[in-house]
Amino acid sequence: MLINYLKVAVRSMLRNKILACINIAGLAIGLTAGIFIYMWIQDELSYDRFHEHAGDIYRVVETQFYRGEPFLVAVAPGPLAAQLKSDYPEIVNAVRIRLNGREILRYGENKFVEKRILFADREFFEMFSFPFVMGDPGKALSDPNCIVLTESMAAKYFQDEEPLDKNLVVNDQLSFRVTGIIRDVPHNSQLQFDCVIPFETLRTAYNQGQNMDNWGSNSYHTYIRLQKGYPYRSLDEKIKNLLKTYYPQSNTEFNLQPLTDIHLYAGNKYAADIGGHGDILYVRLSSLIAVIILLIACINYMNLTTARSGNRAKEIGMRKVVGARKAAIIRQFMGEALVYALIAFVVSLVLVELLLPVFNNLSQKDLSLSLRDNIALYGRMLLIALITGIVSGSYPALYLSAFRPASVLKGTLFSGKKGTLVRKCLVVLQFSLSVILIIGTAVVHYQIRYIHNKQLGLDKENLAYVVLQREAWTRYDALKSRLLEMPSVAAVTRTTELPLTLSSSHSGFDWEGKDPMETILFHVVGVDTGYADAFKMEIVEGRFFAEGFFGDSDAVVVNEEAAEIIGGKESVIGKTITEQGQRRTIIGVLKNFHFKPLQLKIEPLVMDQDPGSYMVIRIHPGDIQTTLAALEESYSEIVPEIPFEYGFVDEDYDRMYRVIERMGVLFNYLSVLAIFVSCLGLFGLASYITEKRTKEIGIRKAYSASVTDIVFLLSRQFLKWVLIANVIAWPIAYIAMKRWLQTFAYRTDMGVEIFVLTSLGAFVIALVTISWQTIKAARGNPVDSLRYE
Amino acid sequence: MIQTTNIKKIYTTDEVETTALDSVNLNVNEGEFVSVMGPSGCGKSTLLNILGLLDNPTEGTYQFAGDEVSGCSEKERADLRKGNIGFVFQSFNLIDELTVYENIELPLLYLKTPSKERKEKIDAVADRLKIAHRLKHFPQQLSGGQQQRVAVARAIIGDPKLILADEPTGNLDSGNGEEIMNLLTGLHEQGATIVFVTHSEAYAEYAQRIVHLFDGHIVSENMGA
């Protein structure tokens, strides 16, 4: 019997090749999109789960309060880890880490700037599973001057030499003995580093001892591992107010954050967090979109199969006449849908394999389809295909198995009124989903455009920066005057932190009239006199720091937000604020500029004069590459011993929105796919409906209706559905996208034009799709169509 | 074999109620050959569908081979049809995607007959109906007469108790029509019970008894040739 089903399925596919192709194409496209999204989501969900104790590791984070508002911080005081471990037996171990950038490491002639150095407590490798290739994980960090390298880093310095027990020189001062080699850190690890140095080195060689022992300072990421399966919420409750014991003036709370939640749930909600997070919102959105596209593909299959069921009616009738039960017919058509789904699955695997490089590039991931590593993945993809097949086959199977043999075999066919209504609803649903996707995509792009065009309060274009380390920092003046001689350089300034990524903040400011109960967090940044000009920032009141002004060393400049907090409606120029007893006079107010991603509101900022280690260079627009080469040349002449390290402010800015941009591009592709699959369905349905109305068309033409009349007559019906689909889609898309936009403190408006244009687009696409069928039907000879009946 | 009492069939659409059959009492004995005649729309096919368990009557009782079947569910009717009733239609209703062999095989598949036995049966019936050389062809490659012979082969392959034929000669020329009638007569002579619907006075005469239907009523019954 199975063979009989298969034979019929395959032969009817071959007999209706176009229909079969449309069906398979629709399902294959749906599955391809589904598989890609599935792989992407699986990768996002895999972050930090490779650690043996992943389920029992937590990060200790802080909730600080400023003006009653919670402020989340990813770092904790230095003494916390040891204290927790000694006070709570349920904690197996506690580890502090700090990621440091920019040390110069050397072995013989091999010298590189290392940006991903991890300082970690001794038990780091017991808590986290980074497999050792050489050395002993238990002892690798026990000696103060030792270092553990990844395989890539070892190869970079030692090439073919045996790396163990060799010495690496840091900053030409300290010597570190290699005690272990670990595998390269997998991409799905939140902690990304190339080497590990004992944490205590921060005390001995980096002069951080005082900071490390201070309960009032937060500088270190602290992780704890609990006993297996220990309910972390009960410990969370116990340590919540722990800081009060050691630092009574603070109302900061500690919280535990599961390690496996950090990648997707921390977002950019935590200050001083380690970057590169994903976002659960996008994981959920993508899952939803995958389901939508697969659903559209399934609806396609349902529509086409039931619309074309006339071809199969006789067969179904005959099977029933000879004794087939309804269940047998259901099984047969379910099976047929599964055959389609499996063929589509094979096609989609080929597509996925072909498009994988493109997708990897788009998503910045390194996903692979190699069977060796992914047997489980293949299993689940097959499962997705089977579910798709079952969903696709469900309605056709129920619909077809309900045929009454008495009527189908008589040739009168079924009236099919109910079936037509269901099909119309399905097409409307399909188009609604597509329109929602298109509107969503359009809004995302509007927001991206908004981000790019947003007046930030500073001009981020044509700004290069150079990192000043050690000798370079001391030779700033020489560098500056040399660079200013270059015709392509407009201005040179220096700062402690780049303005789009400010992270230092301070809550100890006081002024006359301040509510003593209130703690307010001010961002602080050190600048020099040319700063405001170089960034093209606007002074709204007073003046900026200037050369030769006596007393400017005690002066500060604040942004509008800070001015409002300090002075309310009144002018703050000349007002004094104190910081740990030191008096500072406000000399100017800068127009607010964005120094955080646009998801966040502008916060108060205080600037003082401080020689920072970023040299910022405003370049005249033009040949950036030549200017950059000239910059490097001048730099190397003045500071030959330190490698030249540079960046562009606008590139850093764009990097903050890379996740959103990537989602934007992904949404583009997905909406195109969705609308394409929907159109396949519409095409199939149009051919069916025009066929059914052949007689009507013949009669109308016999009574001298023109081709235009007929095309209009047929199109009107389809356009009505598309209109209904739009009406359904609009409010849903509006509510959904409004919620998404609310994740931005600064956001674009959802213009009416998005909705109008999307609808127009849907109309045009639908018209073009059905035009081939309708025109063909309208131009037919009425004699043929009447005889046909 | 067949005993209907006061069978009534009403079709209801949104606004119209049509009485297709009204108080039909019909008995067909085992081994009998009955033809049903009447103008278009008189209810012949409706009656045949009810007799063939493709449809339930709206009112009345129907005993098939001694069992009351008028209230049977679709599933029960499907099981009763299987192996008990063979159908022949005016438009043949062969499945285009299946070969002649596979078309004839279909009832046996639902009867779960083993493959070897199926082959023997099909070969035997194909010989008898002179279509053995056509077994590998698809229906479209056959003439109308040949197609109807295949349909008859399919109807009798499961050794049914009853053969129902709905204008089996309607789409055939006189030569082929006669051939089909001879086939049916032959089957009757071998003991089959046959009810067949026709427009043709001449073909109706092949039966032992002719039932005349008009507007859903049996208006007369007379013995045939």
Query: What chain B residue is nearest to A323 in terms of C-alpha separation?
Result: B82
CA angle (B172, B177, B181) in 5-degree steps: 145
**Can you give the pTM of this predicted structure?**
0.81
Look at the block and give the residue holding tokens 């299987």. B82
Instruction: Show Cβ contacts of residue B20 under 8 Å, excluding neighbours closer than 6 positions.
Output: B9, B10, B11, B43, B46, B216
Give yes or no for residue B118 having a pLDDT over 90. yes
For residues A590 and A457, what is the distance between their CA atoms, to the nearest angstrom?
A: 9
Mean of pLDDT values over A422-432 = 87
Q: Is A615 left (phi over 0), alpha (psi -120 to 50) or beta?
A: beta
Partner-chain contact A4 B106, CB within 8 Å: yes
Is B139 near chain A, with CB under 8 Å?
no
Q: Which pLDDT score is estimated for A456? A: 86
Mean of pLDDT values over A233-247 = 92
Instruction: Record the tokens describing residue A677, joined without a space.
Output: 């699959």
A270-320 confidence digits (pLDDT tens): 878 887 678 888 888 889 888 989 999 999 899 888 877 777 888 898 899
Give yes or no for residue B124 having a pLDDT over 90. yes
Q: Which pLDDT score is estimated for A789? A: 38
CA angle (A473, A477, A479) in 5-degree steps: 80
The Cα of B75 is separated from the nearest Cα of chain A by a number of Å equal to 6
Helices (H) and strands (E) in chain A, counts: 27, 25
| Type of residue found at A43 | D
Query: What chain A residue is nearest to B49 in terms of C-alpha separation?
Result: A406
Q: Environment class of residue B108 by beta-carbon count within 10 Å: exposed (0-12), middle (13-18) or buried (19+)?
A: buried
The Cα of A40 is separated from the nearest Cα of chain B by a number of Å equal to 42
Question: For residues A562 and A606, is the Cβ–Cβ distance under 8 A?
Answer: yes
Q: Which pLDDT score is estimated for A516? A: 77
A596-628 confidence digits (pLDDT tens): 888 888 889 999 988 888 999 999 888 788 888
Chain B residues near residue A325 by CB distance under 8 angstroms: 74-75, 78-79
Q: Which pLDDT score is estimated for A17? A: 86
Phi and psi of B144, rounded to 5°? -60, -45
| Type of residue found at A130 | F
Confidence bin at A411 (pLDDT 50/70/90): low
Q: Which pLDDT score is estimated for A785? A: 61
Query: What chain B residue is nearest to A15 in terms of C-alpha separation?
Result: B97
Query: What chain A residue is nearest to B159 in terms of C-alpha separation?
Result: A322
Question: For residues A67 and A87, is the Cβ–Cβ distance under 8 A?
Answer: no
Chain B residues near residue A6 by CB distance under 8 angstroms: none
Give yes or no for residue A410 having a pLDDT over 60. yes
Is B72 near chain A, with CB under 8 Å?
no
Partner-chain contact B81 A322, CB within 8 Å: yes
Query: What chain B residue is nearest to A315 in terms of C-alpha separation?
Result: B95
Could you say which of A322, A327, A404 has the minimum Cβ distance to residue B106?
Answer: A322
Partner-chain contact A406 B54, CB within 8 Å: yes
Is B202 near chain A, with CB under 8 Å?
no
Could you say which of A12, A323, A327 has the minimum Cβ distance to residue B83?
Answer: A323
Partner-chain contact B82 A322, CB within 8 Å: yes
Confidence bin at A550 (pLDDT 50/70/90): low
Helix (H) or strand (E) holding A438: helix A417-453
Mean of pLDDT values over B20-41 = 91
Partner-chain contact A15 B97, CB within 8 Å: yes
Query: What chain A residue is nearest to B47 in terms of C-alpha separation?
Result: A406
Mean of pLDDT values over A209-233 = 90
A747 DSSP 8-state letter: -
Instruction: Record the tokens describing residue A464, joined without a space.
Output: 């290069």
Among B14, B18, B54, most A C-beta atoms within 10 A, so best to mutate, is B54
Report percent pLDDT > 70 for chain A: 97
Look at the block and give the residue holding tokens 């392959």. B157
C-alpha torsion sign, points A631, A633, A636, A638: negative
Partner-chain contact B110 A319, CB within 8 Å: yes
CA A630 from chain centre, in angstroms, equals: 37
Give yes or no for residue A731 having a pLDDT over 90. yes
Q: Which pLDDT score is estimated for A679? A: 86
Partner-chain contact B82 A7, CB within 8 Å: no
Question: For residues B209 and B2, is the Cβ–Cβ distance under 8 A?
Answer: no
Instruction: Record the tokens describing residue A617, joined without a space.
Output: 């260079």
Give yes or no for residue A787 having a pLDDT over 70. no
Confidence bin at A204 (pLDDT 50/70/90): confident
- N-terminal to C-terminal alpha carbon distance within chain A: 35
Q: Which pLDDT score is estimated for A788? A: 44
Report percent pLDDT > 70 for chain B: 99
Partner-chain contact A325 B78, CB within 8 Å: yes
Look at the block and give the residue holding tokens 């002004």. A549
The Cα of A321 is separated from the nearest Cα of chain B by a number of Å equal to 7
Instruction: Record the tokens describing residue A368, joined without a space.
Output: 């692979």
For residues A447 and A664, what is the distance between their CA atoms, to the nearest angstrom?
A: 10
Look at the block and give the residue holding tokens 């050489």. A134
Indicate the SS3 state at residue A88.
Answer: coil
Chain B residues near residue A318 by CB distance under 8 angstroms: 93-95, 106
Instruction: Record the tokens describing residue A305, joined without a space.
Output: 């199969």
CA A390 from chain centre, in angstroms, equals: 32
Partner-chain contact B97 A318, CB within 8 Å: no
B181-217 confidence digits (pLDDT tens): 999 999 999 889 999 998 888 899 899 999 999 988 8
A623-638 confidence digits (pLDDT tens): 788 888 888 888 989 9
The Cα of B109 is separated from the nearest Cα of chain A by a number of Å equal to 6
CA angle (A306, A311, A317) in 5-degree steps: 90
Instruction: Record the tokens describing residue A645, joined without a space.
Output: 């390290």
Instruction: Record the tokens describing residue A556, joined without a space.
Output: 């500060």
Is B83 near chain A, with CB under 8 Å?
yes
Instruction: Show Cβ contacts of residue A348 under 8 Å, excluding neighbours closer than 6 positions.
Output: A27, A28, A29, A31, A32, A35, A385
Instruction: Record the tokens describing residue B211, joined without a space.
Output: 């039932």
Mean of pLDDT values over A25-42 = 92
Count of Cβ atoms closer than 10 Å to residue A518 Cβ: 12
Strand A174-182 versus strand A146-150 pairing type: parallel
Nearest of A387, A355, A212 to residue A291 by alpha carbon = A387
What secondary structure does DSSP assign to B158-175, as a single string? T--SEEEEESTTTTS-HH
Q: Is B215 left (phi over 0), alpha (psi -120 to 50) or beta?
A: left
CA angle (A674, A677, A679) in 5-degree steps: 110
Q: Environment class of residue B95 by beta-carbon count within 10 Å: exposed (0-12), middle (13-18) or buried (19+)?
A: buried
State the average pLDDT for chain A: 87
Please state, in angstroms and as integers, the Cα–Cα distance from residue A398 to each residue in A4, A10, A330, A336, A425, following that order.
20, 21, 6, 13, 17
Mean of pLDDT values over A357-369 = 84
Partner-chain contact A324 B110, CB within 8 Å: yes
More confident of the two residues A101 and B3: B3
Helices (H), A93-231: 124-127, 151-158, 201-204, 209-212
Mean of pLDDT values over A532-556 = 85
A771 DSSP 8-state letter: H
Q: Which pLDDT score is estimated for B83? A: 84
Is B185 near chain A, with CB under 8 Å?
no
Please state, in angstroms and as integers, the Cα–Cα distance from residue B209 to each residue in B166, B177, B196, following that order.
16, 19, 11
Question: For residues A662 and A655, is the Cβ–Cβ distance under 8 A?
Answer: no
A-B C-beta contacts closer than 8 Å: 78
Give yes or no for residue A321 having a pLDDT over 70. yes
Partner-chain contact B102 A7, CB within 8 Å: yes
Confidence bin at A67 (pLDDT 50/70/90): confident
The ipTM estimated for the assembled molecules is 0.87
